[in-house]
C-alpha cells in the first residue's frame, strides 16, 4: 500500500492543504468509524479483503485527520467506484468533488468509470459529469422460509462461473469472484444455466452476482441465495416486482465514458453496491 497516488490541493474556503492518497492498513480503523457514522457496517477485515481482491481505498486527509474516502475496483475495461464519503462536518466544501476528480484523473482514460448511487445522491454525480444508464433496486427477502428449490444445488467455483460473469457483465474479475466464493458459497442451477454467490457476512449478508439464462429460474436462484445468506440479507436486482422480495430503495447506475456492458437477459442481481 506504499505506492500512493498522492495529490495535493487547497480548499478554496479555508486554505487547508489536503492530500488524496491510497489508504494504508493503519487507516482502516478510522475508515471503519467513518463508514459506521453512515450506517455502512464495514469492518477492518472488509477493507483488508477489498485490498486482497485488487481494490484500492483512497482517503482525503488534511494534516491531522482523514476527512473523506472512496473505494475503487479496476476491472480493466471498467473502473468501479463506490463508498464515496465525506465526514459530516466537512461536507459542502468541495472535498467530495475533489475525490471524484482524483478518481477521474486516475481512471478516466479507461473505457468507463461507473458507480451505483442512491437516488438522493444521483444529482451530485450528474453535476460531476456522470450519466444515469440503469435503474436497480435494493431488496430483501419477505422472510417466509420457502426451502431450497429442487433445481438449485451447492457447487464449486469453476471456469463456467467466471465465463458467465464475463458474458453477462463484461468484467474480467477472477480475483473478486474468487474472493467472494472464499467468503461464501456458490449455488448453481442444475444443468449449469446459472449461478449465485452467497455472502454469509455477519453484518451485511447478501446475494450476488446472480446470473441465469432463464428468468423464472433466475428468480428461484436469487431467493434461494438470499435465504442461504441468512436473516437481513440483501441484493441489488434489476427488475421490479419479483415475487417474495421487499423493495427497500431505488438505486441508479451512472457512468462516464463508454456505457458498461450488461446482458439484461441474464443479469438478475449485481455483485453488490460496492462491487458492481
Ligand X SMILES: CC(C)(COP(=O)(O)OP(=O)(O)OC[C@H]1O[C@@H](n2cnc3c(N)ncnc32)[C@H](O)[C@@H]1OP(=O)(O)O)[C@@H](O)C(=O)NCCC(=O)NCCS
List residues near ligand X by CB under 6 A: 38, 84-86, 91-97, 117-118, 120-121, 123-124, 127
Closest to 99 measured CA to CA, from 132, 62, 56, 58: 58
Q: Closest separation between CB of residue 274 and ligand X, Å? A: 10
Q: Closest separation between CB of residue 27 and ligand X, Å? A: 17
Q: Closest separation between CB of residue 152 and ligand X, Å? A: 32
Q: Closest separation between CB of residue 251 and ligand X, Å? A: 8
Q: Closest separation between CB of residue 102 and ligand X, Å? A: 12
Strand residues in the chain grouped as ranges (E): 7-10, 17-22, 55-61, 66-74, 78-86, 112-118, 131-141, 152-155, 185-189, 194-199, 206-212, 235-237, 245-257, 267-269
Would you give the distance in Å from CA 276 to the centre of its chain? 4
Closest to 189 measured CA to CA, from 206, 169, 214: 214
Total Cβ atoms within 10 A of residue 247? 13
Residue 92 or 147 with smaller CB distance to ligand X: 92
Give the N- to C-terminal CA distance of the chain in Å, as an integer: 23
| DSSP one-letter code for 119 | H
Q: Closest separation between CB of residue 103 and ligand X, Å? A: 12
| DSSP one-letter code for 95 | H
Q: How far apart are the C-alpha atoms of 95 and 147, rounded to whole Å?
A: 48
Amino acid at each position: 500500500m506504499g505506492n500512493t497516488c498522492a495529490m495535493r490541493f487547497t480548499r478554496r474556503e479555508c486554505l487547508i492543504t489536503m492530500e488524496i492518497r491510497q489508504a494504508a492498513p493503519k487507516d482502516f480503523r478510522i475508515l471503519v468509524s467513518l463508514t459506521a457514522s453512515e450506517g455502512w457496517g464495514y469492518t477492518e477485515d472488509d477493507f483488508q479483503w477489498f485490498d486482497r481482491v485488487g481494490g484500492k481505498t483512497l482517503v482525503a486527509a488534511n494534516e491531522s485527520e482523514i476527512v473523506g474516502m472512496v473505494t475503487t475496483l479496476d476491472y480493466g475495461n471498467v473502473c468501479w467506484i463506490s463508498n464515496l464519503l465525506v465526514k459530516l462536518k466537512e461536507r459542502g466544501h468541495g472535498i467530495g468533488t475533489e475525490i471524484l476528480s482524483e478518481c477521474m484523473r486516475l481512471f478516466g482514460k479507461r473505457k468507463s468509470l461507473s458507480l451505483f448511487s442512491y437516488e438522493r445522491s444521483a444529482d451530485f454525480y450528474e453535476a460531476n459529469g456522470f450519466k444515469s444508464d440503469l435503474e436497480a433496486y435494493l431488496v430483501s427477502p419477505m422472510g417466509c422460509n420457502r426451502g431450497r428449490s429442487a433445481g438449485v444445488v451447492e457447487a464449486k467455483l469453476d471456469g463456467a462461473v467466471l465465463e458467465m460473469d464475463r458474458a453477462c457483465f463484461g468484467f474480467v474479475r477472477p480475483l473478486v469472484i474468487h474472493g467472494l466464493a472464499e467468503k461464501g458459497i456458490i449455488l448453481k442451477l442444475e444443468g449449469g444455466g446459472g449461478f449465485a454467490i452467497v455472502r454469509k457476512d455477519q453484518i451485511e449478508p447478501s446475494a450476488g452476482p446472480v446470473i441465469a439464462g432463464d428468468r423464472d429460474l433466475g428468480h428461484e436462484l436469487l431467493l434461494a441465495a438470499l435465504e442461504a445468506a441468512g436473516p437481513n440479507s440483501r441484493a441489488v436486482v434489476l427488475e421490479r416486482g419479483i415475487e417474495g422480495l421487499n423493495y427497500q430503495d431505488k438505486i441508479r447506475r451512472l457512468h462516464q465514458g463508454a456505457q458498461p456492458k450488461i446482458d439484461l437477459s441474464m443479469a438478475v442481481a449485481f455483485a453488490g453496491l460496492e462491487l458492481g
